[in-house]
A and B are shown apart, each in its own frame.
Chain A
């Protein structure tokens, strides 16, 4: 337990009169690759913001390496936003964006040095983005930008990498590429990766650890334990079906005439929180 990198205990967030999240608890161990799965509007982004310290919790607490998360910022966590809506003409190359990851938050302006250049090249190589390192960031495709942003986050040597829906606008091939890169990084550099998505299938090749968020509540554990009809129905508060079709998992809203089952996830005996040791 104390070796947990990230630990959420009964986290609740109430904003503008709405309970966005309640009773969310899970842990992430170092080097663990976890999917944060859930439909749009379920609270995934809010959860990421809570971990980043951008949104305060109304209940519960967030522990990073055992100590409560107080201020935002800090070098432990790397963040990759979903997409950059950036103009084609912006005078920033991919390598400039990555270089900003080293010291973009410090005052002053960067003096060119061989060390920085090497660091940047290394990060670009790690994500497979060397071939377009000198292209303008605004001219890259979605997948290429995604890799550059990952390199940017990586270069700060984080322990935890958070990605907000990185696969949302990608074609299949780019999707697979990104997931492979992330999984390799998690393995080789012992960086924990938490990647939010509304479809868990692209991630299933590399991991079987999920935190499923629906209706502001979460269930965490192995896919076999969490992605089950009873568990998800309890989360959603209404009947949903979990289907396994050709090796893919589908979560489908069930019969609407059925009465909503307002069970707490723990009622069904699911392990909330993950004990990897």
Chain B
């Protein structure tokens, strides 16, 4: 039994410094992403959330170029990207799909440039990989306080504005009618999103950060009845996926090819997607009835053509 246990939890797991850092930071990231992600999914802004993450790539690449720590690069680019998207009108539903995509394309182009220039000037190898796919096990300890602080800050903002954020997410018209400054709240949301995405980018990479943002949130919204419960569930699911991912990644050092280890981000992403799929297994009957009833009650089937799929 002990032998079996030590196979799952390889020796030295919890005594390893990087692993402990990873667990700590990973938890903060998962909780922040999960909570903010619930709002993102409710607002139907998964594409915008993902695009922001890709724009963060630009920042990470730029930071690499000038020698800054990646997190600041992600954060600055994330905030700038959020501001640009807000200006373009990403929170209005019409035409934002294309606007988002266009900003994304420009951002990725710039990332390509920065990475290229960076590899010309610096001698660090593997920069592209870690910026894009994360560096959970190589988080430098001096950035840990900054990471935790930003996460906590974002969570505090969301907690303070939670009711208003939920109202504007569920029904902007109703919120506006009640006198809520919808635009300002939207900006606050985008700022929190930028932070969540940047944090996530550090641990599982910019392009994969969407997994922790959207996956647990989408899963929990299928299961929970109230948004606040959904946020709690999303945080828990995200944390579980992160811990399990760290565990498996650590174990994978002993898997083929030996001595290398599989990327943590891979495990986290797979676990998150599996979790989402499992939420379908739970009650397929209910899904089908709901779908059929929704179709039967369609008095006004509508669809957006030329703008966004709900994103």
Contact = CB atoms under 8 A, between A and B. Distances in A.
Interface residues of A, number: 26
A82 interface: yes
Contact of B293 (A15, A164, A165): A15
Interface string A159-176: 000001100100000000
Given A16-B292, A18-B293, A89 B299 contact: no
A7 B200 CA distance: 61
A138 B304 CA distance: 11
A109 B297 CA distance: 35
Given A87-B305, A87-B306, A87-B307, A165 B299 contact: yes
Nearest to A40: B299
A44 B298 CA distance: 10
Nearest to A86: B305
A88 B299 CA distance: 24
Interface residues of B, number: 20
A117 B303 CA distance: 29
Given A40-B299, A44-B299, A168-B300, A17 B289 contact: yes
Contacts, number: 57
A20 B300 CA distance: 16
A46 B296 CA distance: 6
A85 interface: yes
Best-buried of B288, B300, B302, B304 by chain A (most CB within 10 Å): B300
B145 interface: no
A84 interface: yes
21 contacts: A15-B293, A15-B296, A20-B296, A41-B299, A45-B298, A81-B301, A82-B302, A83-B300, A83-B302, A85-B302, A85-B304, A86-B304, A86-B305, A87-B94, A87-B305, A88-B94, A88-B95, A90-B305, A90-B306, A138-B306, A168-B300
Given A16-B290, A89-B95, 20 more contacts: A15-B295, A18-B293, A40-B299, A41-B297, A41-B299, A44-B299, A81-B301, A82-B302, A83-B300, A85-B302, A85-B303, A85-B304, A86-B304, A86-B306, A87-B94, A87-B305, A87-B306, A90-B305, A165-B299, A168-B300
Interface of B: 94-95, 288-290, 292-293, 295-307
